[in-house]
Amino acid sequence: MARSVEFNEEAAIQKAMEVFREKGYNGASLRDLTEAMQINSSSLYNTIGDKQELFIRAAKHYIDMRKRELDERAAADKPALEILKQYIADSVTNIVSETHGCMAVKMAFEMATSDKRVINVLKKDSQNQYEFVRKHIALAMEQGQLDNEESPELLADYFISTWTGWNESYILHKDVDKIERMARYFIRQLSK
């Protein structure tokens, strides 16, 4: 009689996500993943599938975590501009303090050109980030906290691409002051 596979799948996906975040898809071996998940390779294949399927599940888990965090921010009882400024400040803190960087940015550089499922996961994350920023820019304009010379859509697109550039810049230069200066400049430009 075959042994049933018993493990906490959500906890295992979280651990796999951490490995992928640290090592990337290509750098993470099956052994790295199964050791972190505390399962054997046959359990992985029987319950989740192959390494690529595990990566997609880990990526979706990461994006879902980021969406929950955005929802918590949006629920805060604060003016929209304050929520935006805190989001930007926290983004900078994450960029410069997270040892392994943003998994979404890593996925974009490593996998997005060759895997449609990764592209779809990244599009969902980008749309979540965009909607959060766009909504709070529009609210800040309605509340008289920001000029409405530009559309919230344009400013949200600009922020998302700027934020991605901050990630890349930090990966390349490891210059905290540079990222902080760019964030302060962005807030000043937004607040004009």
Digit-coded pLDDT (tens) for 110-145: 887 788 999 999 999 999 999 999 999 999 999 999
DSSP secondary-structure letter at 50? S
Helices (H) and strands (E) in the chain, counts: 9, 0
Q: Is residue 111 part of a domain?
A: yes
Q: Is residue 89 part of a domain?
A: yes
Digit-coded pLDDT (tens) for 63-96: 999 999 999 999 999 999 999 999 999 999 999 9
Asked if 118 and 62 count as a contact pair (C-beta separation under 8 A), the reply is no
Q: What is the mean pLDDT of residues 17-37?
A: 95
Query: Which residue, 2, 11, 85, 5, is CA-closest to 47?
Result: 5
Q: Is residue 162 part of a domain?
A: yes
What is the tally of structural domains in the chain?
1
- Domain with 180, as residue range(s), is 62-190
Q: Is residue 43 part of a domain?
A: no
Place of tokens 């998302």: 160
Q: Is residue 29 part of a domain?
A: no
Q: What is the mean pLDDT of residues 31-40?
A: 95
Residue 66 neighbours by CB distance under 10 Å: 18
Largest CA distance in the chain: 70
Q: Is residue 25 part of a domain?
A: no
* CATH code: domain of residue 163: 1.10.357.10
Tokens, residue 151? 């559309």
- Strand locations in the chain, DSSP E? none
d(CA 107, CA 190): 29
- Between 113 and 149, where is the model more confident? 149
Q: What is the pTM of this model?
A: 0.88
Per-residue pLDDT, 190: 81
- Assign 183 to helix, strand or coil: helix
CA distances from 27 to 15, 19, 21 (A): 15, 9, 10
Tokens, residue 39? 């399962």
Classify burial at 110, counting beta carbons within 10 Å of its beta carbon; exposed 0-12, middle 13-18, buried 19 or more. Answer: middle
Q: Is residue 109 part of a domain?
A: yes
Q: Is residue 36 part of a domain?
A: no
